[in-house]
Structure 1
Amino acid sequence: MRIGFAGLGNMGGRMSACIVRAGRPVLGYDVRPANVAAASATTAGSVGEVVDGSDIVLLSLPDSHVVEAVVLGDDGVLAHARPGLIVIDLSTAAPDSTTRIHARLSEKGAAYLDAGISGGAAAAERGALTLMVGGDLDTLDLARPVLDLFAAQVFHCGPSGAGHTVKLLNNFLNAIALSATAEVMVAGRKAGLDLDVLLAVLNASSGVNFATLNRFPKIIHGDYLEGGLTNSLMLKDVNLYVELAARLGVASLNAAGPVASFGMARALGYADEISNTVVDAIGDLSGGVRLQEKP
């Protein structure tokens, strides 16, 4: 299958590079032309050119507004869609938007899979992402050899929209763990604790989570693991979860913490910094605390 890719930023660029390293050429388009070269892709002049030159088109875009513009806009995916085309949206997007796009592409005989991703920039770099996919299982089976080039695990979660729904649920838990752990680590620093010891205790106790295991052992020594989700994008994902919960009639009692944390980080100037810097935003409001600076 000829592979096309639209959206070659932090995540898309790394996924594209994995595909190329496996010996498969990628026809790519990004609004920033330099990203195409960095992703080791062949440059296309437009999204429509990517679709015309590909059998499977991967999308990695900031949000549903951009996805809809790329898919439904002039010279977009829908305008060039044809029977047999497979489109896979690797973005974090609103499930209701996803199902609408699925229906529009189906009218032209094209397949649409929503594939939320997890693992961050590090996993994308080494081709070890987790994918949560919604849509037709037979289509996923056709696309799996391509997805396996940058994913270690691929889960079929259900019909169209299910993959993006699972992604929002996962990202909400991720946001809670990151923001809450950031607060705890700032408190630990102000209490004069050895943060390496604190993390060792947490990771052997009931407070253990992804942030204590994988993020803060680096952050406390000044490595913020650059290249992942920004504070603005994390806030966007949490708000998408809140909207989803409201549509489902689920009481969302725990959203206030991450909404406040990542909203505050954005307001304090960390909008486009990796979401791990939420700990510095909390530190700013706590007397200028930095975890790597011992009192």
Structure 2
Amino acid sequence: MTATRIGFAGLGNMGGRMCAAIVRGGREVLGYDVRPELVTAAGATPAGSAGELSDGSDIVLLSLPDSHVVEAVVLGDDGLLAHARPGQIIVDLSTAAPDSTTRIHRLLGERGAAYLDAGISGGAAAAERAALTMMVGGDPAVLERARPVLELFAADIFHCGPSGAGHTVKLLNNFLNAIALSATAEVMVAGKKAGLDLEVLLAVLNASSGVNFATLNRFPKIIHGDYLRGGLTNTLMLKDVNLYVELAARLGVASLNAAGPVASFGLARALGYADRISNTVVDAIGDLSGGVRLHTEEPAA
């Protein structure tokens, strides 16, 4: 039986790490990125275009910044749709708008190809450990066909429902992530200005009802100047929150808690942290609070 040929489009912070995990798993990968040096850095063989990537792959993985880029790669003149064929699987690992996802699913289906929306969570560290969590929308039978490839970089794979469900769950998760990060950043700045020992403050939070992913996994590093490379930038975090707000509006849900992260990550962008890891939102809040830093070292990009 011929081995499944794997293609990967979008080899940035997360895509490059996922691709490298696949390569470490002993599989060859055909890669495509507008920055060709990222393809070779991830251990993939370069493809010259999205169409060439599609022609050389049975399963194509996408890790792209947003739905606009996904649509350009899939629906462009030399894109995946133009080269799609029956039996091919395309898995979108991006954080994308569910309505765009379902449209692409329908268009690819008309050509006999399958489309899975597969949001991921866990950040750069989990990607490097091949321990990501994945939330998948689409045909469960297609997911089972794709699973041997996905398990090369994901430890937990959840089928969430039909097309669009995976990206919907991803937006819900990312909104809570944004709330936790921005609110904890504000609390830590307040703790610093109050003269508290930040390690003690975190120990209390992590043993109390204020515990969250940011208190457990981010701020124990940040207070010592390690901002944890490779995660979402402030720009991408703001994009995800805005996608959640649009989703809530379509669903008729009152989004009463969105103002905080919109303001926080919008502030970070305005103050020059747009392309830095979203953990630097704490420095943007610190800037507005009198130049507060939780540490003395310069943050890693």
Instruction: Give the TM bin, normalised by the shorter chain.
Output: over 0.9
Pick one of 97, 100, 103 that aligns with 1:100.
103
1:116-164 alpha-carbon deviations (Å, 9 max, x no partner): 0000011011100000000000000000000000001000000000000
Deviation for aligned residue 1:167: 0.1
1:52-96 alpha-carbon deviations (Å, 9 max, x no partner): 000000000000000001000011000000000000000000000
Residue 182 of structure 1 corresponds to which residue in structure 2? Answer: 185
Deviation for aligned residue 1:31: 0.2
Mapped to 1, the partners of 2:95 and 2:41 lie a distance apart of: 22
CA RMSD, aligned part only?
A: 0.7
Residue 126 of structure 2 corresponds to which residue in structure 1? Answer: 123
How many equivalent pairs are there? 294
Pick one of 158, 161, 171 that aligns with 1:158.
161
Pick one of 253, 257, 268 that aligns with 2:256.
253
Mapped to 1, the partners of 2:107 and 2:267 lie a distance apart of: 38
Residue 48 of structure 1 corresponds to which residue in structure 2? Answer: 51
Deviation for aligned residue 1:226: 1.1
* Local SS of the residue matching 1:180: helix
Pick one of 199, 205, 219 that aligns with 2:222.
219
* Local SS of the residue matching 1:263: helix
TM-score of the pair, normalised by structure 1 = 0.99
Mapped to 1, the partners of 2:60 and 2:292 lie a distance apart of: 45
Mapped to 2, the partners of 1:32 and 1:153 lie a distance apart of: 30
* Local SS of the residue matching 2:68: helix
Residue 40 of structure 2 corresponds to which residue in structure 1? Answer: 37
Residue 76 of structure 2 corresponds to which residue in structure 1? Answer: 73
Deviation for aligned residue 1:293: 3.7
- 2:70 is the alignment partner of 1:57: no
Residue 243 of structure 1 corresponds to which residue in structure 2? Answer: 246
* Local SS of the residue matching 1:160: coil
Residues 251-290 of structure 1: pairs in structure 2 closer than 5 A: 251-290=254-293
Residue 13 of structure 2 corresponds to which residue in structure 1? Answer: 10
Contiguous gaps of at least 5 residues in structure 2 = none
Pick one of 22, 26, 39 that aligns with 1:23.
26
Would you identify which runs of 4 or more consecutive aligned residues in structure 1 move more than 4 Å?
A: none
Contiguous gaps of at least 5 residues in structure 1 = none
Mapped to 2, the partners of 1:189 and 1:40 lie a distance apart of: 43
Mapped to 2, the partners of 1:124 and 1:58 lie a distance apart of: 14
Mapped to 2, the partners of 1:38 and 1:229 lie a distance apart of: 20
